[in-house]
Amino acid sequence: MTYTKKEFKREFKKRLQERFQLSVEDASDQELYETLGRLVTSHYSKNWKDTWEERTEFKQKQMYYFSIEFLPGKMLKNNLLNLGMLDTVEAGLKELGIELEDLVEEEPDMALGNGGLGRLASCFMDSLASIEMPGNGNGIRYECGLFKQKFVDGHQVELPDEWLNSDNIWEVRRESHAVNVHFGGDVELMESQSGQLKPVYSGGYTIRAVPYDTAMTGFENKTVNDMRLWSADITEAERMKFQNFKDRKELDYLTSVLYPDDSDDSGRRFRLSQEYFFVSAGIQSIINQFKALDVPVTEINQYISIHINDTHPALCIPEFMRILMDEENIPWEKAWDITVKVMSYTNHTIMSEAFEKWHISLIKEVCPRVFQIIEEIDRRFVENAQGIYDQELIERTRIITNEQVHMVHLSIIGSHSVNGVAKLHSELLKTVVLKDFYGMYPERFNNKTNGIAPRRWLQLANPLLSETLDTHIGTSWRSDINDLNLLLNHTDNKQVLKELAEVKYQNKQRLADYIETHNQVVVSPDAIFDVQIKRLHAYKRQLMNLMHILKLYFDLKENPDLEMTPRVFIFGAKAAPSYRFAKSVIKLINETADLVNNDPDIQDKLKVVFLENYNVSLAEIIIPAADVSQQISLASKEASGTSNMKFMMNGAITLATLDGANIEIKDAVGDENIAIFGLTEEEVYRYYEERNYDSKDIYHNNLVIKRVVDAFIDGTIPNSAVEGQEIYDSLITYNDEFFLLRDFMSYCEAQEWVDKSYQDKEKWQKMSLINIANGGHFSADDTVRKYSEDIWQIEPLRKH
């Protein structure tokens, strides 16, 4: 059933004519893109329908991944690859005088997430379909995705991302699956005729939730799962019924914008409404689908599994209880037993100050019945714990304290599984952050180290490397990524090493072109491309990277003949709009870039580039071109990281602290193929215990450090006195919360090792090869396989 170029061209031209009454020469890229996209959807539509129907037919257990963020990026090439059409279509288009890449440009990035957590959800969607597991997404169809970032005079400016302005060809609006979500009002419990307590509602309002489904295609198979995103459907007339301005605004915000914070506890009312909205709609729709199976609702835990991606969807627990009890008449004890069996929870952050909490008055206002249920879960938790645990422990672990609902507590108490996202992170949850809960429910805690979708991050992002791999190790790695380790047979093969170096060079050239177009900075692919791309956050320590750049700058100013491998430092990062510190770091990096790039003394030894608007598509260009992957968070703070995995799979050398999944990367590639520096997690915790960290002491006793830190306030970096002062204060006045000064010298040494190692081309290339060859350790296919077996208890889909 191969699809030939000839067939493709015929079908494409026919569709173009039918849809736009145009021939290829007269069509715009937008029209060509839309035509191609619709052609692609028609190629998976039967499998989508079949996967859907087989659910009811075979009654296999389904998993639903609830996430307030999904970050799929672009779909076109991913779907073409999965359908086995990529090469044919690319070649066919070429014969029609069209470059596939030009059409790809027309597709907006689907940026419905902030960073790691949202991208992980999308990698999981890709992997679930690719290993043919029944797993579906449930989230929010934000009309505006994460803001677009621009730099104006070096400052970050945020613009709305109106990605739905052009038609979204991948989604299907399913009017017939719409459900109503009830908000607010009062609720009282009244005894029904049968003697049960039933809620009686008064007031409040109901919002229609309409699902938009997007096909999640599997790689070269017939599985097409669903990513269901909910949209609030409010007509202007309905909207005007709301006299109260606050309520009206809440309605408007419900599915319009994604909150642009990553890991910050800004408890805002609209966000809670969003959480309840997609949770309630999702659960109602699951129950509706389940009803088609015609089995007793008391057995629902054998048919469905619900995953809570961090605490944002934690209201799944009381909402599921509400439906079982109020609508299905199941008594509390049985309903609770079922709920705990259905729910599982992943924690993505170690910093307890970032744990989600909501004031009880807010929850009461948004979803009063759900609040009653949370109170009852809390009451029973406390009651059951009496006599077993001491009072203090109970107070520390209960759900409601100081008028706050602790979403982490709710998530743990209401789930049968709690997992962290890397070995270290999961250990820290057990021994430090969630120690009390580990004592109560040791069997619930487990680790699932994150992974990445190898199709997007290797096959699609790096076609040159993919071809080279095909030549030397065959193509089996494309369907089983663990076969990348066949490359280990070639560690001393000069020809292979040379070809890999050539691939890297070409990818660097492509990035250099991008940089020249977008930043008007010329960089050479002969320099080391040293990259840090991730959300801007103090704990991720972009500032330490900047401090090292300043050190090199001073070294070169002092001694222009200094021997040094030319280096391009590349940044990509968005800061939460309200995060002052992060925005100051952006400003300082941009000003330093201007200073360094235009200083004739520096020649081309040092370049600094901050790329605007970092997103999934930009990552796909940057990662294959990186020589060095900077993963330099303070040990214990980065739960896992996932870009670290993407980089190593593409042959970059990791420069890292022993944090998150960096530790597992080190174990996979071996100590000699990674650059590790800095405090260990134990050493960090020792400082916390002994409370003896003193940044001033380091500052006054180390001239190198003093020189660099002073640069923030002595006018070295132009146009940034206010930002520089703020940064200086964070390091000196406020005692350097993330121990940058403590790790700085060790970081500089590791950077010197990078400089030296790069000069030995063959040694470097061999390290790079070993990194690629071990990429299979971090495939999300394996990660979701483990979730499927240990947590969700789902099995590969049966197919006709």
For binding to ligand 26Q (CB under 6 A), which residues are involved?
Answer: 114-117, 120, 259, 261-263, 266, 271, 348-349, 356, 421, 450, 638-642, 660
Q: Which is nearer to ligand 26Q, 591 or 638 (CB)?
A: 638
Q: Give least dist CB 238 to ligand 26Q, A.
A: 27
Q: Give least dist CB 746 to ligand 26Q, A.
A: 22
Show the tokens assigned to 106. 């027309």
Q: Give least dist CB 536 to ligand 26Q, A.
A: 12
**Contact in structure between 275 and 313 (CB atoms under 8 Å):** yes
DSSP-derived pairing of the beta strands 567-572 and 606-611: parallel
Residue-wise DSSP of 487-503: GGGGTT-HHHHHHHHHH
**Contact in structure between 699 and 709 (CB atoms under 8 Å):** yes
Q: Give least dist CB 569 to ligand 26Q, A.
A: 22
Distances (CA, A) of 675 to 392, 543, 775: 44, 19, 17
Q: Which is nearer to ligand 26Q, 116 or 368 (CB)?
A: 116
Q: Widest CA span of the chain, in angstroms?
A: 91
Q: Give least dist CB 631 to ligand 26Q, A.
A: 10
| HSE toward the beta carbon, residue 757, CA cutoff 13 A | 22
> Vertex 328, ends 322 and 334: CA angle to 5°?
75
For ligand 26Q, the nearest residue by Cβ is 116
CA dist., res. 614 & res. 605, Å (int): 25
**Which residue carries 């910093």 as its tokens?**
351
Q: Give least dist CB 93 to ligand 26Q, A.
A: 36
Q: Which is nearer to ligand 26Q, 263 or 771 (CB)?
A: 263
Amino acid at 416: H
Q: Name the active-site residue from 55, 540, 574, 605.
A: 540
Q: Give least dist CB 778 to ligand 26Q, A.
A: 11
Q: Give least dist CB 132 to ligand 26Q, A.
A: 24
Q: Name the active-site residue from 307, 646, 742, 766.
A: 646
Q: Which is nearer to ligand 26Q, 41 or 114 (CB)?
A: 114
Show the tokens assigned to 346. 């992943």
Burial profile 424-457: b = 16 or more Cβ within 10 angstroms, e = fewer: bbbebbbeebbeebbebeeebbbbbbbbbbbbbb
Instruction: Give catalytic status of residue 646 as yes or no.
Output: yes
**Which residue carries 């419990």 as its tokens?**
189
Closest to 359 (Cα-Cα) out of 269, 250, 251, 246: 269
Q: Name the active-site residue from 35, 349, 642, 654.
A: 642
Instruction: Give catalytic status of residue 94 as yes or no.
Output: no
Q: Which is nearer to ligand 26Q, 80 or 452 (CB)?
A: 452
CA dist., res. 417 & res. 414, Å (int): 9
Q: Name the active-site residue from 55, 312, 348, 455.
A: 348
Q: Give least dist CB 346 to ligand 26Q, A.
A: 7
The 3-state DSSP class for residue 398 equals coil
Cβ atoms within 10 Å, residue 245: 8
Q: Which is nearer to ligand 26Q, 109 or 638 (CB)?
A: 638
Q: Name the active-site residue from 148, 490, 535, 637.
A: 535
Which strand (E) or helix (H) includes residue 703?
helix 703-710
The phi-psi region of residue 309 (left if phi > 0; otherwise alpha if psi is between -120 and 50; otherwise beta) is: beta
Q: Which is nearer to ligand 26Q, 120 or 366 (CB)?
A: 120
Burial classification of residue 172, based on how many CB atoms lie within 10 Å of its CB (0-12 exposed, 13-18 middle, 19 or more buried): middle
CA dist., res. 688 & res. 41, Å (int): 55
CA dist., res. 635 & res. 660, Å (int): 8
CA dist., res. 31 & res. 17, Å (int): 11
Instruction: Give catalytic status of residue 642 as yes or no.
Output: yes
Q: Name the active-site residue from 534, 537, 637, 766.
A: 534
Q: Which is nearer to ligand 26Q, 266 or 489 (CB)?
A: 266
Q: Give least dist CB 114 to ligand 26Q, A.
A: 5
> Residue 328 contacts by C-beta under 8 Å, 6 or more apart in sequence?
297
DSSP-derived pairing of the beta strands 653-656 and 675-676: parallel
Q: Give least dist CB 667 to ligand 26Q, A.
A: 17
Q: Which is nearer to ligand 26Q, 214 or 450 (CB)?
A: 450
**Which residue carries 């607010």 as its tokens?**
184
Q: Which is nearer to ligand 26Q, 171 or 275 (CB)?
A: 275
**Pairs from 615-618 (Cβ < 8 Å, separation ≥ 24):** 615/73, 615/109, 615/111, 615/146, 616/71, 616/72, 616/73, 616/74, 616/109, 616/111, 616/119, 617/73, 617/74, 617/109, 618/533, 618/572
**Which residue carries 């170690």 as its tokens?**
350
Q: Give least dist CB 333 to ligand 26Q, A.
A: 33
Q: Which is nearer to ligand 26Q, 83 or 121 (CB)?
A: 121
CA dist., res. 280 & res. 290, Å (int): 15
570 pairs with which residues across the strands? Answer: 531, 609
Catalytic positions are 348, 534-535, 540, 642, 646
